[in-house]
Every structure is written in structure tokens, then in C-alpha cells.
Structure 1
């Protein structure tokens, strides 16, 4: 069974500290590896992780596919924005490297196909994080092995919404011949079911499973003591 085949019909758990919280106590490769192991024990069929250190620690701790990425820089394109960073993630042990698959300019001036070629040469697969159907189609043409709805709501081409973009899942499933991973603001079993009904190959959940800081913020915002605080 191939790496992507093993994800079919399952839940992939994203184990990442909050990017806007440099002092998040969860920001530690050992901690993230333990979180990932717990997620796998609970039934996760794959793990998504950020940075070579976390990828390496998680790869050593679990027996399921690891989707690695490298958030870097402050440009619009910051999810594994260059071939060099993508190769570092593959070298750390990622079975699949997630990269920005949008049509926005990359900080190094190169194109998605350059990153795809570098990752394939390193022996890993490529997951293109996109925000529109057109971007997904273009990413597959560039050689991506799978696409994900991760960036819906985070680009000028896609509307911001509170919940997941199920329309994009359905649109991609109808338009591309590769697996479509539903990712972005999935928080409930109902949303998971709706994603699979829309054609998702797998569903990725992150903060709603793995971030005590994010979960507690949302819950405490509903209390008298926490009223008015941001519940992200």
C-alpha cells in the first residue's frame, strides 16, 4: 500500500504549536512527538508537523506517514517556500512534504515545479496546500502528488470563513485525479463527515485536537472570567 493510500478514509492530526505564540509551552520536539504518539494511539492515520526537528522526533515516535512542512519567513508564501527548505524536511524523515501550492509569488522567484522536482529527487511525495480549485489543478500539473484545502481563507483569492471550506473540497475532488485532503478549521465530527461526503481522501485536524492553548482560549472565552478575551 502506498503512503497516500494508507491515509484514505482516515484522520490526519496536525501537531504544531501556535505560530503566533513563540512562548507556547508545546513548542518542543519531544512534546510534539508525544502528542503525535497519543494521536496515533487514538486512531490517527497520519501526522502533519512543522520543521525538521519536529518531523525527525515525530518520525521516530510513530509508525504512520508523516507530512512535514517548514514555515519560514514573513512573505505571503511561507509554508515550505523554497526547494532547499523542502529538501530539509524530506531529509528529516517526512514521507510527504507540504508546500504552498497557491499562485502567489515565491520569495526566491522560483515556481512550484522546482520544489516538486527537488522533493521527488529526495525520495518524498508532495502535498500542495491551495486555496482555490484553479490552484489545485495547476499544482497537479506541476507534479504535486496530492492537494489540500489548507490555505482557503488565507489568500486574496479565497473568502475568509469561520468553518471549513467544503465547497473547495468538492470542487477539487471533481477537478483533480489525486487525493484531496480536507484541512482548515475542522473542529467537529459532523464537519469530518461532511468533508468525506464532499469527496475528501482524508481530513486533517490540528488545533482542535493538539493545542491546549487554543482549546482553552476558546472555552475560557465563554466563561464570565474570560468574557471579552480572544477565543481563537
Structure 2
């Protein structure tokens, strides 16, 4: 789905994207389960889905050919804490699987094999033409990612990097400054820690074009573990 950036941002206004993922080892990680959750999310009004791994992206694309898919691939490399679509190989695989937008870690952390973020984005634009969503942890990194060419900027990694480990999502403090300083055609996505419809509404009011919600909707493993853990603590 090749969509002009300004039109894509307009289509996202006030909309929900559901992150349909499951941790390694979970029975929920089966492609048929992921696909069913994605289809249910779209059927009930989600503007799109955020999916992890080429396998899941391909499965959802086959079953839901018209879906807006934000794709990523989590891979861990020695010597780097960057794991969300960390390099060229992962970007190319996610794009080939059928994603419309490829989400990448766009923080200032060292990337695997010393790959440069600017160089990666330039190569993606030159060789694939794939739109990129920058998962960031700060205003500075969000603005840098947009300047490098990322069409979407998401607050996904605030609270999950070494530099922001003392902060807790949702990233309320990032939304207004980013919206004020990002180019008008760049979509601002609030992702991370949203756990209620009221919080999603607040994110829009504070400047987000759209919100991504995952665990609170599709995170069966984490949700059940949280309930069980809290109830056990009371016994």
C-alpha cells in the first residue's frame, strides 16, 4: 500500500492501531491465533495492526489483504540492546512479507555491527522505498528520525531504554513537544503503556494522531500473569 505521507496521516487521525503480538514460547504465538486476533481487531474498527515477524505479517496479509500493517521483527544481537527491526536484513524481510510501514528502533543506542541509523534509513529509502516508523524514547530522537526521513514517529521506547529506565510510559511528556516540532506531514503515534480507552483519548488530546495499544487488548499472557501475581500477593 503506497500512500502519500500527508494523506496517510490524515487517514490515521483519531484512530486505533492494535499491536497483535505474543511472546516467544506462548501458545498465542501461532500464526492462526495472531491472524484471528488481527482480523477481530480490524472488524471492530481498528485502523490497522502492528505485527512482529515476517511470518505473522505474511499470514495476516493473506487473510486480510486490505489491512494497514505496521511490521517489525524483534531480533537480538550480541553487544547491542537494539532489537526492534535492528538492521537492513530485518527491514527487507518485513517489507517483503507485506508490511505497509516498517517500524525500526530509532534511538541513539549503538546498533548491531556498528550500523548507522542515518545510513540504514537512506538505504531503505533508496533501495526499497519503504515508509518507516521510528520507535523512539525522547523528543530529540524523534525529531532526528523525522529529519532523516521517517514518516511516523512513535513513543514506543520511552521507559524501555537505558537512558529512560527511570521513566514510566505512557510518554505524556513527549507528545506535545513532538507535535509542535515535527513536520506537519509526519504522523505522531502514542505507543507504550496505554491501558484504557481514557488514556487513548488523552493521548489524542495531547497531540498524537493515533495510538497503538497492545498488551491491554491482545496481551493474554501478560494480562493473566498480572492478575495471578497480584492476587497471589494478597493471599
| Aligned twin of 2:160 | 154
Moved more, 163-172 or 3-12: 3-12
Distance 2:109 2:50 in 1: 23
Are 2:75 and 2:86, in contact at CA under 8 Å, matched by a contact in 1? yes
Query: Pairwise mapping of residues 160-175 of structure 1 onto structure 2 (< 5 A)?
Result: 160-175=166-181
1:159 deviates by 4.6
Q: How far apart in 2 are the matches of 1:172 and 1:157?
A: 18
Report the Cα distance in structure 2 between the residues aligned to 1:37 and 1:24, rounded to whole angstroms: 19
Bigger proportion of residues as helix: 2
1:12-64 C-alpha deviation (Å, 9 max, x unpaired): 0001112xxx3211112221111100111121101001110011111222222
Post-superposition offset of 1:204: 0.2
The gaps in structure 1 that reach 5 residues or longer are: none
Q: TM-score, normalised by structure 1?
A: 0.90
For structure 2, list consecutive stretches of 5 or more residues without a partner in the other structure: none
Task: Give the equivalent residue in structure 2 for 1:77.
Answer: 82
1:132 counterpart = 2:138: yes
Q: After superposition, where does 1:24-39 map in structure 2 within 5 Å? A: 24-39=26-41
| Structure-2 separation of matches of 1:108 and 1:163 | 29
- Matching residue within 182, 187, 192 for 2:190: 182
When the two chains are superposed, the root-mean-square deviation of aligned CA atoms in Å is: 1.8
Question: Structure 2 length normalisation: TM-score?
Answer: 0.89
- Give the paired residue count: 224
CA distance change for structure 1 residues 54 and 228 in 2, over 3 Å: closer, same or farther?
A: farther
Query: Counterpart in 2 of 1:212?
Result: 220
C-alpha deviation, 1:210, in angstroms: 0.5
**Structure 2 CA distance for aligned equivalents of residues 59 and 85 of structure 1:** 18
The partner residue of 1:98 within 103, 125, 130 is 103
Query: CA deviation digits over 1:59-116, x for unaligned, max 9?
Result: 2222221000111114211111111210110000000000000011111212222322
Q: Does structure 2 conserve the Cα–Cα contact (< 8 Å) formed by 1:152 and 1:160? A: no
- Following TM superposition, the consecutive aligned residue runs of length 4 or more in structure 1 with deviations greater than 6 angstroms are none
Deviates more, 1:210-219 or 1:124-133: 210-219
> Does the 8 Å CA contact 2:159/2:168 hold for their aligned counterparts?
no
